[in-house]
Amino acid sequence: MSHPAPPLPESARGLLRIPTLQIADIELPEGMERLRDLAYDLWWSWSPLATRLFTWIDPDHWRRYHNPVELLINVEPHHWSRLLSDPEFRRAYEGVVQALDAYHARPRWFDAQGAPLAGPVAYFSMEFGLHESLGVYSGGLGVLAGDHCKAASDLGVPLVGVGLLYRSGYFRQSVDADGFQQHVYPDNDFARLPVLPVQAPGGGVLTVPIDLPGRVVQAAVWKAQVGLVPVLMLDTDIPLNDPADRPIASILYVRGREMRLTQEVVLGVGGVRALRALGVSPAVWHMNEGHVAFLGLERARERVTTGEGLEDALKAVARNAVFTTHTPIPAGNEIYDRELVRRYLGPWSQEVGADPEAALALGTQAGNFNLTVLAIRLSSSVNGVSQLHGQVSSAMWRHLWPGGGESPVSSITNGVHTETWVGPEMRALYVQHLDPAWEERLLEPELWGRVADIPDAELWAAHRSQKERLVRFVRERVRIQSARHGLAPDELRGVERLLDPRALTIGFARRFATYKRAVLVLSDLDRLRAVLSDADRPVQLIFAGKAHPADRAGQDLIRRLFLLTQGEFRGKLVFLEDYDMEVARMMVQGCDVWLNTPRRPQEASGTSGQKSPINGGVNLSILDGWWVEGHRSDNGWAFGAESDADVETQDKEDAVALYRLLEEEVVPLFFAKDADGLRHAWIARMKASIASIVPRFSAHRMVGDYVQKVYVPAASRRG
């Protein structure tokens, strides 16, 4: 039976207080009650103190699930007796609780800005990558949204996220023995996840209605707490709905086009109504990609029902709405058949008294209905996610701003939430040599300049330790996969020799969309073979990534790569299945080199390469996305200049440039050791990578830019 969750102490409350109901069957011993608060505050996901405490409670369970709610549900009473008799455990518990409360109570950057916002920022996104235990993300867009929320919490920016709570999330990936990607959709039990149902003002679970053709669908509202930032998520799988409507919010990026459109209507319309039901009045509405653009139509409907004309209402809602576009690929923008959209806009058109054609015209582009166009027309500010992406997007969409100048689309380059992605040994190194509170000084270049003074041996030892952890992780994953494929016990024992911690380890992990060219490094197998077969200079590559279930070409790339890992390149090439945030963390923390090979200029930003330097990794990347701004001659390698060549020629030229860099620069530098046995030249490049990239490409800088350049101006235009 549901009952209200106990309130946090005043010092541990967020800026927005969203009441919730407690539904999980968690029984805690006396004196351990705050573990419930901790489990439902995703602050734990970037706190090593918290994750160490959960590991202490049940190491096997934590290693398997990384989910504190499920862990606490399953702890046996006698197990608590043993833990409570350990004074070290009690001290660790008190320390984590104090750290949680101190985090919520500490002064923040936004506090010193003079209260420039009269209300919170409503941040709408189709996916949120907060942690692998909450599988409502697929890749870069969601992880960026999660990092945005975490940084907003760190900085004290009043922000509330709005998304969908998918019953099956994105698919879990496995690869069969023939290299074919298989898709498994889990049935998540929300009561065992770090989310809570939101309490309605009159009691019970809050639900909101969404008008769809011929019926009204209800969505229950859940909340994930991310430090100070609540993220509201809508769930349609409830008994109030017809069985045919319950799966609407079931699968992220579902293949069916009408179902996808239905999801986007539910998110845009239902998200606005959820905020209204909770009495939240945003100062700014941030649309993170076009999936959420229907929120603008719902806000206009609200104004029309108060007597305002539709044209004035549309102008008014655009004034404090901002839009971030994330793809320079025309096909990456959501496009629908006009007749399908006409049906879904029917209830809206009727209520606002608009001609259906006029409603469709808001998003019409080249005969189709385009959600990016709708978002642009219903916002006052549009930005790309790197400087180059802003320029490309301006060229793509300039026709929507007649006489609007050279670059109607501005840019705020993406950043990453540093504490989420830094490894434990590197974190300890920064505590020792930079500042015990280095994470509160992320944006200070002078702090990161001190990296040059860290002894080379200590920096290399910290990175090497993280690399050895990655190797152990890969071996365990490959052993499980190989057992499923039917390998014999002796072959499974041989997995323990897979990969070499001494080898130059190159990582590639991202979506297997064809434009990202995951197999560019496989273009010339003879040259690759020569690079990988030198026993004196061992090199190995680790790949991970998913292809969308509808992307056959991407799945073919995975199969091609996987078959090579099982043949002559076995032990030198590895493909890790089921790419998620855990795999991403392990890879960016342990790889020496981060490889990125998109077809320029089709990478909007590419934030995975921003996560590697904090761990001592060095980028080897096409000069695209954020790397155009981040690359220096001493902090990594760049190739793939701007070209007017056809795709085939560009791919060949880029492959030749990549092999040349590997053969002549990257591999020789890595294995060049001085008389003391240390690779000082390589470590100098590591240090330059850390010092030049970490402060500039932190999500703290990114969110601060949004506040100053986008949110405050939009709030001042609020009608």
Task: For Cα atoms 81, 86, 92, give the angle at the middle one, nearest 5 degrees.
Answer: 110
Provide the pLDDT for residue 236.
98
Residue type, 396: M
Asked if 703 and 152 touch (Cβ cutoff 8 Å), the reply is yes
What is the distance of C-alpha 392 from the center of its chain?
23
Those residues whose C-beta lies under 8 Å from the C-beta of residue 389, and which sit 6 or more positions away, are: 325, 328, 411, 601, 604, 605, 625
Can you tell me the distance from the alpha carbon of 246 to that of 244, in angstroms, rounded to the nearest whole number? 6
701 phi, psi to nearest 5 deg = -65, -45
- Matching CATH number, 122-414+703-716, of 3.30.70.3040, 3.10.520.10, 3.40.50.2000, 3.30.1300.30: 3.40.50.2000
What is the distance of C-alpha 145 from the center of its chain?
6
- pTM for the model stands at 0.96
Can you tell me the distance from the alpha carbon of 134 to that of 469, in angstroms, rounded to the nearest whole number? 24
Q: Which of 522, 524, 502 is nearest to 512 (CA)?
A: 522
Can you tell me the distance from the alpha carbon of 239 to that of 381, in angstroms, rounded to the nearest whole number? 40
Sequence-ordered alpha helix ranges (H) in 581-646: 581-590, 608-611, 627-630
3 state SS of 231? strand
Can you tell me the distance from the alpha carbon of 442 to that of 614, in angstroms, rounded to the nearest whole number? 11
Token pair belonging to 70: 């499920």
Q: Which of 114, 122, 138, 29 is nearest to 79 (CA)?
A: 29
Rounded mean pLDDT for each run of 10 residues along the chain, 719 residues in total: 40 67 92 96 98 96 94 93 95 98 95 91 98 95 98 97 97 96 96 97 95 97 98 98 98 95 98 98 97 97 96 96 91 89 94 90 93 96 97 93 81 98 98 96 96 98 98 96 95 93 96 90 95 95 96 95 94 96 98 96 93 98 96 96 83 95 98 96 98 98 98 89
With b for 16 or more beta-carbon neighbours within 10 A and e for fewer, the 674-693 pattern comes to eeeeebeebbebbbbbbbbb
What is the distance of C-alpha 306 from the center of its chain?
38
Spell out the domain ranges in the chain: 3-105, 122-414+703-716, 418-697
Which residues sit opposite 199 in a β-bridge? 205
Can you tell me the distance from the alpha carbon of 51 to that of 151, in angstroms, rounded to the nearest whole number? 19
Provide the pLDDT for residue 15.
65
Task: Tell me, yes or no, if the two domains 122-414+703-716 and 418-697 fold the same way.
Answer: yes
Handedness of CA 155, 156, 162, 166 (dihedral sign): positive
Residue type, 141: L
Token pair belonging to 175: 């690869």
DSSP-assigned letters across all residues of 90-119: HHHHHHHHHHHHHHHHS--GGGGGT---SS
Provide the pLDDT for residue 451.
98
Q: Which residue has the tokens 């330790």?
A: 465
Range 418-697 classified under CATH 3.30.420.40: no
Can you tell me the distance from the alpha carbon of 426 to that of 167, in angstroms, rounded to the nearest whole number? 36
Q: Which of 109, 296, 116, 113 is nearest to 715 (CA)?
A: 116
CA atoms within 13 A on the CB side of 343: 11
Asked if 297 and 316 touch (Cβ cutoff 8 Å), the reply is no
Pairing of strands 21-22, 3-4: antiparallel
Strand ranges in 133-250 using DSSP code E only, listed in sequence order = 159-164, 172-175, 181-184, 196-197, 207-212, 215-226, 229-235
Can you tell me the distance from the alpha carbon of 673 to that of 93, in angstroms, rounded to the nearest whole number? 45
Can you tell me the distance from the alpha carbon of 224 to that of 231, in angstroms, rounded to the nearest whole number? 5
